Amino acid sequence: MTFDVEEVLSQLTVAQKAALLSGKDFWHTHPIPDLNVPSIRLSDGPNGIRGTRWFKGTPTATLPCGTALAATWDKPLLRHAGELLGNECIAKGAHCWLGPTINIQRSPLNGRGAEACSEDPYLTGVVARELILGCQSTGVVSTIKHFVCNDQEDGKRGLDAQVSQRALREIYLRPFQIAARDADPGALMTSYNRVNGIPTSENKELLQGVLRDEWKWDPLIMSDWYGLYSCLPALEAGLDLEMPGPTKFRGFEIELNSSLNMLRPSVLDARVRRVLQFIMKASSVPVSPVESQRNLPEDRELNRNLSAAGIVLLQNKIQTLPIPKRISKIALVGSHIHEAMASGMGSTAVEPYYTITPYQALMDKAPNGVEVQCEVGAYAHKFLPLLTDRLMKNAVIRFFNEPSTVASRVLIDKVPIVTSYFQLVDYTHEDLNSSLFYTSFQATFSPDETGEWTFGLAVYGTAILYIDDELLIDNSEDQTLGSTFFGCGTDEKFGKIQLVAGKDYELRVEFGSTSTMQILSPEAVNFGGGGARIGACRELPLDVLIERALGIASQADYTIICTGLSGKWEGGGNDCNTLSLPPHVDDMMFRVAAACPNTVVVNISGGPVAMQWASKIPAIIQACYGGGEGANGLMDVLFSDVNPSGKLPFSWLMDIKDTPAYLNFGSNDGRLFYGEDVYVGYRFYDRMERETMWSFGHGLSYTCFKLSSLRNIGEEAVDSRVPSAAKVLVRNTGSVAGAEVVQLYISHPPTRRFCAKKELYGFDKVFLGAGEEKEVSIDIDPYAMSVWDEAHGQWRREKGEYTIIACTSSDSRCKVRVEGSVGIESTTWW
Ligand code: BGC
């Protein structure tokens, strides 16, 4: 379909204009068929393309989470990741990708920290740029989100982020600015919160003033889902599209305000024109007419490379890693050995084509003849583990308009599923009353151990769980709000029962949709429909678990402990409240490490966690949620098929009290004060001379590198001798091939107060054979050395002598470094 934007605009009625300014449904814009204006499909999310269904979604490539992608520091690889996301959109019939997420990891407690990229705005901006360029090279429009200061989940809709203009410009707007400048994403999503008193969806200073007037960037601006709170102020501020539909603040409101002459026609037309331009551009993408799958070998290979490239080797004493080929026994211990931990939860959750658990990946990778033994050691689940085909079969959900108490109820739909989790946000059926319906989940449960089993039931709606028709858990009364289902669901309720291994039991859950729930969270984003999660575990006493783990670790040549967090601890709707790993994991670490000298800990989480045991463990690996291929990528690194080259995109602290946002994280009656100002992450630790456990940019390799001969280039090209790039020689001084990330930091003159000691303004990853040397040229961001001058309301670069540091970690003790300088002759503002 093609149409002329101005021609269509001139023919639209006010009602049609109003219709175009909000979604038709959860994932589509409004079509105007008479005028050839099609409907455009938008699709989540940052690390995989879900399509239009949360429930029984079309399987898709599941890429590593944001922090894992950022940890690659690999621009070409990220560009390919973006292409894959674009191609997955095309396969899912989606013209527009709702990603990437480029908020800042202001605190490691941020529930959606894993979805964002980094604590550093430059790294975040560059990661975004590459993903967007890749995605948009397929024609698919990218939507950067959430604009801006959506850096925590606690109370996020009612939150006022009180942030200085300087921190806003230098830290929080910067990734958006880099992405806009270098990649021109076609769309932007506003956030749920306010910034300095004004909701971002109606913040004219930001939307019109900064984005459109100052940056000369004119994306389609859409609201976050149910993140629009007004009609006129948002229209006047520049918010084009309300999502999702049907509308809550537009439609009739627009017609009314137009008829009362309260809404100026020029404002209405500006918004409609932008939506039409977006539809015009997006509709040229040749998307699949049906939601389809790709699952191509080359996509899987890319995904595996991405996973491996994002693995960070934090510590490797006495070269414990890589695991030698000639060993006979490996003990695999930990809560995560049978879970893939592909991605986070909430709007990042997708239905992966496939996933692989650490156990399966180890069995595939371990050299022939090596015996592998497994033990959990200590659980790390927040909610009891979901049931999958390991313990459950023939799972099916039946849909009804009447509750189970109505014997004659009529079956409307019957859908087989493979997990004991369902979220019915976007499930529809023509005969189903979507505002009040009931389901019956049924499955055969076959325990693998005899003894007492604990079942857990959390629900967004109401639910009752039966085993062989005996009521075990009633979560339809006395409900308590918890953190499930974006903060709309209940806490988990438990029931215990004695079961016999190998015997089949009938598991049944009678569920009522959202409107049957007694308590609704006033604050959470209410997506409707409802859902339930059923977990089960044969919970053994901790001592027994640890003893079993010690038994295998003490006999093994190598022990690999896989543990950490999951999308239940960190994820949309709730922040973490501690840096600690789940209870008892630390105890287990100390004891197992003492039993096996070659212990390798693999921590799986979106950000840093406290590791009191770190000094007792020879080798530690950080694996942020690695996507469908996560465990394969991990094994590639452990067994040296890939030399690790990932670098931390965040600083690693032991104690949450040492983090800059500590006193100002969480909703303080709706107030969120960005008290640390521009000193986010390493900018704070550097300035405070506070030691980190591992610094931003840290990551080891199985080889070593040396840097030399730093020189600035292109100084004449820009004003006042600002170099546009720096060149540096990098040598692989070790005996195996590997890759190093050369990081370029710039320091203000030492006498200057109120500045970070150094800031990242360039980086490049270089691949070198053993003994090989290469000169790399690293672009320097044009905003290097500048600060936002609040008095002038302008950028300022002050004259003085600046230090340029090329190094391999932001740690001031990092020895692989070379320094140079650059002199700025006069102060300039722009
Ligand atoms: C999230 C967005 C997401 C949208 C649609 C919102 O709650 O904040 O990131 O794109 O839902 O799922």
How far is 284 from 133, CA to CA, in rounded Å? 17
Domain ranges of the chain: 40-234, 382-537, 705-829
The list of the chain residues with pLDDT below 70 reads 1, 344-345, 523-524, 714-721
How far is 399 from 414, CA to CA, in rounded Å? 6
Ligand 1 centre and the CA of 147: distance in Å?
Answer: 12
Q: Whole-number mean pLDDT of the chain?
A: 95
Ligand 1 centre and the CA of 224: distance in Å?
Answer: 6
| 498: exposed, middle or buried (Cβ count in 10 Å: 0-12, 13-18, 19+) | exposed
Q: Residue 115: CB within 6 Å of ligand 1?
A: no
Ligand 1 centre and the CA of 425: distance in Å?
Answer: 13
The pLDDT score that the predictor gives to residue 720 is: 52
Ligand 1 centre and the CA of 222: distance in Å?
Answer: 11
Beta bridge partners of 452: 498
Dihedral angle of Cα 686, 689, 694, 700, to the nearest 10 degrees: 70
How far is 311 from 132, CA to CA, in rounded Å? 22
- For residue 284, give the nearest of 186, 377, 202 by alpha carbon: 186
How far is 134 from 131, CA to CA, in rounded Å? 5
Instruction: Please confirm whether the linkage preceding 322 is cis (ω < 30° from 0).
Output: yes
The pLDDT score that the predictor gives to residue 768 is: 98
Mutate which of 191, 224, 527 to test ligand 1's pocket (most atoms within 8 Å of Cβ)?
224
Residues whose CB is less than 8 angstroms from the CB of residue 304 and which lie 6 or more positions away in sequence, other chains included = 629, 632, 633, 636
Q: Residue 743: CB within 6 Å of ligand 1?
A: no
Pairing of strands 671-673, 141-147: unpaired
Q: Are 610 and 524 in contact (CB under 8 A)?
A: no
The pLDDT score that the predictor gives to residue 718 is: 46
**Please, what is the angle between helix 252-259 and helix 265-282, to 10°?**
140
The DSSP code for 411 is P
Ligand 1 centre and the CA of 225: distance in Å?
Answer: 6
224 annotated active-site: yes
Pairing of strands 505-512, 413-416: unpaired
Tokens representing residue 359 in the block:
């156990």
Q: What count of other Cβ atoms lies within 10 Å of the Cβ of residue 733?
A: 14
Nearest CA to ligand 1 atom 9: 347
Write the DSSP assignment of 617-678 as a string of letters: -SEEEEE----TTHHHHHHHHHTTSS------SS-B-S-GGGSTTGGG-S-BTTEEE-TTTT
SS3 346: helix
- For residue 404, give the nearest of 457, 469, 330, 500 by alpha carbon: 469
Rounded to two decimals, the pTM is 0.95
Q: Are 115 and 345 in contact (CB under 8 A)?
A: no
Nearest CA to ligand 1 atom 8: 224
Give the number of the atom of ligand 1 that is nearest the alpha carbon of residue 192.
8
Nearest CA to ligand 1 atom 6: 225
Beta bridge partners of 729: 708, 775
The pLDDT score that the predictor gives to residue 717 is: 45
Q: Residue 472: CB within 6 Å of ligand 1?
A: no
Dihedral angle of Cα 48, 54, 57, 61, to the nearest 10 degrees: 10
Ligand 1 centre and the CA of 74: distance in Å?
Answer: 27
Q: Residue 423: CB within 6 Å of ligand 1?
A: no
Mutate which of 98, 159, 243, 348 to test ligand 1's pocket (most atoms within 8 Å of Cβ)?
98
Q: Residue 595: CB within 6 Å of ligand 1?
A: no
Return the CATH superfamily for domain 40-234.
Glycoside hydrolase, family 3, N-terminal domain (3.20.20.300)
What is the C-alpha R_g of the chain? Answer: 27
Pairing of strands 786-789, 794-797: antiparallel
Q: Is 584 left (phi over 0), alpha (psi -120 to 50) or beta?
A: left
Helix (H) or strand (E) holding 165: helix 165-167
Mutate which of 146, 156, 200, 347 to test ligand 1's pocket (most atoms within 8 Å of Cβ)?
347
| 230: exposed, middle or buried (Cβ count in 10 Å: 0-12, 13-18, 19+) | middle
Ligand 1 centre and the CA of 122: distance in Å?
Answer: 24
Q: Residue 235: CB within 6 Å of ligand 1?
A: no
Ligand 1 centre and the CA of 45: distance in Å?
Answer: 8
Nearest CA to ligand 1 atom 11: 225
pLDDT digits (tens, 9 = 90+) for 720-766: 567 899 999 999 999 999 999 999 999 999 889 999 999 999 999 99
Pairing of strands 96-97, 42-43: parallel
CA distances from 245 to 17, 226, 283 (A): 15, 9, 19
Nearest CA to ligand 1 atom 7: 225
Dihedral sign, CA of 193, 196, 200, 201?
A: positive
Ligand 1 centre and the CA of 567: distance in Å?
Answer: 16
3-state DSSP percent of the chain in helix, strand and coil, to 5: 25, 25, 50
Fold of 382-537: Jelly Rolls (2.60.120)
Instruction: Please confirm whether the linkage preceding 244 is cis (ω < 30° from 0).
Output: yes
How far is 809 from 647, CA to CA, in rounded Å? 8
Q: Which of 74, 120, 160, 224 is catalytic?
A: 224
The pLDDT score that the predictor gives to residue 162 is: 98
Give the number of the atom of ligand 1 that is nearest the alpha carbon of residue 45.
10
The DSSP code for 200 is G
Residues whose CB is less than 8 angstroms from the CB of residue 650 and which lie 6 or more positions away in sequence, other chains included = 67, 105, 108, 113, 118, 119, 607, 608, 681, 696
Q: Residue 147: CB within 6 Å of ligand 1?
A: no
Pairing of strands 558-564, 329-333: parallel
Give the number of the atom of ligand 1 that is nearest the alpha carbon of residue 98.
10
Nearest CA to ligand 1 atom 3: 347
Q: Residue 187: CB within 6 Å of ligand 1?
A: no
How far is 22 from 411, CA to CA, in rounded Å? 34
Q: Residue 116: CB within 6 Å of ligand 1?
A: no
How far is 321 from 315, CA to CA, in rounded Å? 9
Return the CATH superfamily for domain 705-829.
Immunoglobulins (2.60.40.10)
Beta bridge partners of 563: 603
Nearest CA to ligand 1 atom 4: 225
The pLDDT score that the predictor gives to residue 486 is: 82
pLDDT digits (tens, 9 = 90+) for 57-111: 999 999 999 999 999 999 999 999 999 999 999 999 999 999 999 999 999 999 9
